[in-house]
Structure 1
Amino acid sequence: MTDTTLYDYLERIASLMRAWAREQPLMADLQPIQLSALNYLARCNRYSNTPLGVTDFLGLTKGTVSQSLKALEAKGLIEKRPDVQDRRSVHLELTEEGRELIDALVPPAFLRKAEEALGERSAALVDLLRELLATVQRQENVPGFGLCRTCRFHQQLDDGALCRLTGERLESGDGELICREHAEPEPEPVT
């Protein structure tokens, strides 16, 4: 029989988060997918805040995501703005109301308290979960969507940072945002 322990733990935590979300008064008018889209948009960079970025990150169909984004826009939680260089593209940004909603809901208070209770071990857990996610993404050949500062293209400079993929300078704080172009660093050579 296959050991399902890891799956069971991850599934149970996900179930608890879904149950928690259903109980939140602020979630009364939101579907879980809409919260996921808002959360992504709150944490992604300027290269990733597009409808396609949301679609790829959530791993859903374009139609499903499109309807969710329309609903979020109608609720005044996001707004679209045309790309400065390519008028056919749009970027999605949280409104102040959308940002306040995410700040109030994510992460769930019960998860934050549990992480605090773990103390120093929480950092090790976060590292292991990041490594697990990166391994799954690599093995299944799905987009990485990692933090900019952990990407092989991120270059720290004396006066800021640079994305070597785009050749553009990064703004302060960009390193902490999710990028859809994220690529794992090259492995260290074995000597």
Structure 2
Amino acid sequence: MEHSRLHELIDRIGMLLRTEARRLGANASLQPVHLHALEYLQRCNRYSNTPAALRAYLGQTKGTVSQSLKLLEREGYLTKHDDPDDRRVVRLELTPRGQRVLADTTAAQAWTRAEQTLSGQEREAITDGLERLLKGLQLANGGRTFGICRSCRHFQTVSEAEHRCGLTGEALSDSDSERICHEHEWQDSA
């Protein structure tokens, strides 16, 4: 197999981020998987804040996610509540404590500082390339894409300030359109 410098760099960046997550998690008595769960809940949309969507996103077993959610709820990082429209569905929400632990992460601050060493054009080119790589890996592995609403084939622009999900028919705010969705499908999925 041919050596890939790109794979090596992505792998090394991932290792550094996981190391930082372990350090931060230890400071808050959390494992990296707990921080990843909180980060997901911070970034997901209103269709995707369920235990099942979290489990699919993390690629973890039902038992692992269930235990993680119990710990995060017990420690006050998130709350669970029944969906008002479908009592069978449980919704997850970050608490102020959960939001604080994410805001206090020096990993995010270190990433922001590192990212600022790139020009806007470089950031855009790297982001576009990594999105294509991610899409390729997700499609090759038959996994859910968990992309941002704006990049989904169901995303519809009604006007400059109005958006809609073509799958659910519901209105989407600008904020909604920048969030992760478990129903995401790439626009050109062929």
Cα distance in 2 for partners of 1:181, 1:25 equals 29
Q: Deviations over 1:118-141 (max 9, x none)?
A: 122122111111111011111111
Q: Percent identity?
A: 43
Structure 1 window deviating more from structure 2 (172-181 vs 9-18): it is 9-18
Alignment size in residue pairs: 188
**Is the CA contact 1:26–1:101 (under 8 Å) kept in the aligned structure 2?**
no
Shift of 1:62: 0.5
The one-letter code matched in structure 2 to 1:165 is L
**Structure 1 outlier segments of 4+, above 6 Å:** none
Q: What is aligned with 1:160?
A: 162
1:84 and 2:90 aligned: no
Gapped regions of structure 2 (runs ≥ 5): none
Corresponding residue to 2:187 among 180, 185, 189: 185
CA, structure 1 residues 94+141, in 2 after alignment: closer, same or farther (shift >3 Å)? Answer: same
Structure 1 window deviating more from structure 2 (80-89 vs 51-60): it is 80-89
Shift of 1:106: 7.2
Q: Deviations over 1:106-159 (max 9, x none)?
A: 752222111100122122111111111011111111001000111111111125
Q: Deviations over 1:52-75 (max 9, x none)?
A: 000000001010011001110011
Gapped regions of structure 1 (runs ≥ 5): none
2:145 partner SS: coil
* TM-score, length-scaled by structure 1: 0.91
- After TM superposition, the structure 1 = structure 2 runs for residues 86-165 of structure 1, keeping only pairs within 5 Å, are 86-105=86-105, 108-120=108-120, 121-158=122-159, 159-165=161-167
Q: What is aligned with 1:14?
A: 14
Shift of 1:24: 3.3
Cα distance in 2 for partners of 1:174, 1:106 equals 26
Shift of 1:103: 2.1
